[in-house]
Structure 1
Amino acid sequence: MASFVPPSVDNPTKPIVNSTVTLSFPFSPTDYTIRPLRRSDYSRGYLDVLRVLTTVGDIAEEEWNQRYDWIKSRNDEYYMLVVCDGQDRVVGTGSLIVERKFIHSLGLVGHIEDIAVEAGQQGKKLGLRIIQALDHVAAQVGCYKSILDCSEANEGFYVKCGFKRAGLEMAHYY
């Protein structure tokens, strides 16, 4: 099982997930691990996994490093996990972004985003494991709920993960 380190209210820089977190899954022919995103995941296929989900663009390594450092500096807001195969190649990912609210007694809401699994790795319950790990993190940091947006085609997957339809997504693109 993964070892999670809960954040401290007095020390928000203490990570919820330490850098040595691993979670092994009993899948053949290789084992998979789930861990926090690392700077070096640029060269391990992280962006290629995101391309399964949506347009990523051509991101240079220097740009990656700048964005990674910005996100890492907000480690009490962004929890980005990756699934790696036996060769330490990124084959899945998902993120939890924690929103601070005035409602619900200054409650926290977890936004689950960017769930993606490499096409050749789909069907192995890796997406489910990512959702379960992010749900665990959300509960550990004190979120009163987690929400996500998905296409109708993916609704069944998220229902199996314990989510239910709770409204209608609206978007205004720029």
Structure 2
Amino acid sequence: MAKMGEEQHEADSLLPIRRLQASDKSKGFVELLSQLSPCGPVTDEEFLSRFAELASHGDDHAIVVAEDEQTGRIIATGSVFVEKKFLRGCGKVGHIEDVVVDASARGRRLGQRVVRHLVGHARAAGCYKVILDCSAENRGFYEKCGFQEKNVQMAVYFHE
């Protein structure tokens, strides 16, 4: 007989990972992102405008979510965008960003499923590699997802 935690893992493995929909704002999408980094308020108009802008990029920018079917809330998300380069014979690189799982749903492998989905998307788009930046605390998580540490991230922030 499966233990309670194992039953939850099985249930989570059945949750579909799907593309972000315009209606997901009302399902807590922005609030979920706030668990990763400060978001500030986003009006419905701002959300729909940005959603349309990103959707116009087709498969070059994919935001995916997992929705808790019992509560109707978005409990995991991540995005990947495809950078088109001149290097490597006009190759492509996938950039994974904004991976977050709701605090109440962590430890259930949803983050790993989201990352695997994003990596698969980049592979299907013809990318020769997928990269991401993460904090030192998250290094172990991404190693479990098959990533290895490479180089150093540098940043210039224009707004705080």
Deviations along 1:129-171, whole A, 9 cap, x unmatched?
A: 0000001111101000000000000000000100000110000
> Which residue is equivalent to 2:44?
61
Q: Tell me the amino acid that sits aligned with residue 48 of structure 1.
A: E
Q: Tell me the amino acid that sits aligned with residue 112 of structure 1.
A: I
Alpha-carbon distance between aligned partners in 2 of 1:154 and 1:34, rounded to the nearest angstrom: 21
Task: Give the superposed CA RMSD.
Answer: 1.4
What's the TM-score, normalizing by structure 1?
0.82
Alpha-carbon distance between aligned partners in 2 of 1:89 and 1:58, rounded to the nearest angstrom: 18
Report if aligned partners of 1:37, 1:80 keep a CA contact under 8 Å in 2: yes
> Which residue is equivalent to 2:77?
93
Alpha-carbon distance between aligned partners in 2 of 1:101 and 1:61, rounded to the nearest angstrom: 34
Alpha-carbon distance between aligned partners in 1 of 2:41 and 2:35, rounded to the nearest angstrom: 15
> Which residue is equivalent to 1:162?
146
> Which residue is equivalent to 1:144?
128
Q: Tell me the amino acid that sits aligned with residue 115 of structure 1.
A: V
Same amino acid, percent of matched pairs: 41
SS of 1:92's equivalent in the other structure is: strand
1:32 Cα deviation (Å)? 1.9
Structure 1 residues 124 and 74, CA, compared in 2 at 3 Å: closer, same or farther? Answer: same
Runs of 4+ deviating beyond 6 Å: none
Return 5+ residue gaps in structure 2 as ranges. 1-8
Q: Tell me the amino acid that sits aligned with residue 165 of structure 1.
A: E
Structure with the higher fraction of residues in helix conformation: 2
Report if aligned partners of 1:33, 1:85 keep a CA contact under 8 Å in 2: no
1:39 Cα deviation (Å)? 0.3
> Which residue is equivalent to 2:93?
109
Aligned length: 149
SS of 2:104's equivalent in the other structure is: helix
